[in-house]
């Protein structure tokens, strides 16, 4: 897998094996890495990643595969194929249990890790399964635990649940709270600027990664909305 990822990234950068090897290794050495005959050291991987303008995590592939699993969470058969490629970390084990719950329509019987993205994904899965009380419980807990960016997502999901349940009182309360969080960002562009400003001063690497993810999502979401609006969809 590592060799395949290096080869694909090298070709995407339009580099030859000679160009990648220059100054550090021989072309033959790079070729053997790409063919899986040599497992490079962490130091070598770091140097290769630097030359390919990427990260060791991306070359190893675990983070990319995990992102694919999360993105396909509502298609459990596909999700499980990605999860099977990953080491059994607590996050992977939880996602396996979540997909099994979706496949069997059984209640989720495990401890939810203190991870804001997993709270959101769990809320989505439970909503998809029409297990509205359980979904509401998870999302409301997330509203109490995590910061405003995640609370906006949780509250928006709660609004969808209350609409499905025709619970006007709960919907009005959630919308009021959501409006309070969103009032400082009247446009998508303002929200994007606020997120970028937070990212500049964020020291926590985990939250920095989430902020970067939000910024990209906001930008791409706005672009796709423009495309749909352009054609009246």
90-119 mean pLDDT:
92
Whole-number average pLDDT of the chain: 89
- Please check whether residue 119 is in contact with residue 112, taking contact to mean a CB–CB distance below 8 angstroms: yes
36-40 mean pLDDT:
84
Binned at pLDDT 50, 70 and 90, residue 86 comes out as: confident
Look-up of token digits 């600027």: 193
Q: SS3 for the chain, per residue? A: CHHHHHHHHHHHCCCCHHHHHCCCCCHHHHHHHHCCCCCCCHHHHHHHHHHCCCCHHHHHCHHHHHHHHHHCCCCHHHHHHHHCCCCCCHHHHHHHHHHHHHHHCCCCCCCCCCCHHHHHHHHHHHHHCCCHHHHHHHHHHHHHHCCHHHHHHHHHHHHHHHHHCCCHHHHHHHHHHHHHHHCCCCCHHHHHHHHHHHHHHCCCHHHHHHHHHHHHHHHHHHHHHHHHHHCCC
The model's pLDDT over 118-148, given as tens digits with 9 standing for 90+, comes to 999 999 999 999 999 999 999 999 999 998 8
Q: The domain 2-56: what is its CATH number?
A: 1.10.260.40
Domains of the chain, by residue range, sit at: 2-56, 63-182, 188-230
The model's pLDDT over 187-206, given as tens digits with 9 standing for 90+, comes to 778 888 888 888 888 877 66
Q: Is residue 225 over pLDDT 70?
A: yes
- Do 63-182 and 2-56 fall under one CATH topology? no
Report the percentage of the chain scoring pLDDT > 70.
97
pTM, to two decimals? 0.73
Tell me the CATH architecture of domain 63-182: Alpha Horseshoe (1.25)
């Amino acid at each position: 897998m590592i060799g395949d990822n290096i080869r694909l990234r090298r070709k995407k950068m339009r580099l030859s094996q000679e160009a990648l090897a220059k100054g550090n290794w021989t072309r033959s050495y790079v070729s053997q890495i790409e063919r899986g005959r040599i497992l490079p050291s962490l130091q070598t991987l770091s140097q290769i990643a630097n030359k390919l303008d990427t990260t060791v995590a991306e070359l190893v592939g675990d983070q990319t595969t995990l992102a694919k699993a999360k993105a396909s969470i509502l298609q459990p058969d596909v999700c499980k194929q990605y999860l099977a490629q990953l080491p059994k970390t607590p996050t992977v084990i939880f996602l396996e249990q979540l997909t099994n719950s979706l496949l069997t329509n059984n209640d989720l019987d495990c401890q939810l890790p203190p991870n804001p993205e997993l709270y959101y994904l769990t809320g989505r899965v439970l909503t998809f399964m029409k297990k509205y009380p359980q979904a509401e419980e998870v999302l409301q807990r997330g509203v109490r635990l995590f910061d405003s960016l995640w609370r906006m997502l949780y509250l928006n999901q709660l609004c969808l649940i209350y609409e499905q349940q025709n619970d006007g009182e709960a919907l009005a309360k959630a919308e009021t709270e959501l409006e309070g969080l969103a009032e400082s960002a009247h446009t998508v562009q303002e929200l994007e600027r606020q997120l970028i400003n937070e990212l500049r001063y964020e020291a926590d690497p985990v939250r920095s990664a989430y902020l970067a993810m939000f910024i990209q999502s906001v930008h791409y979401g706005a672009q796709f909305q423009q495309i749909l609006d352009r054609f009246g969809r």
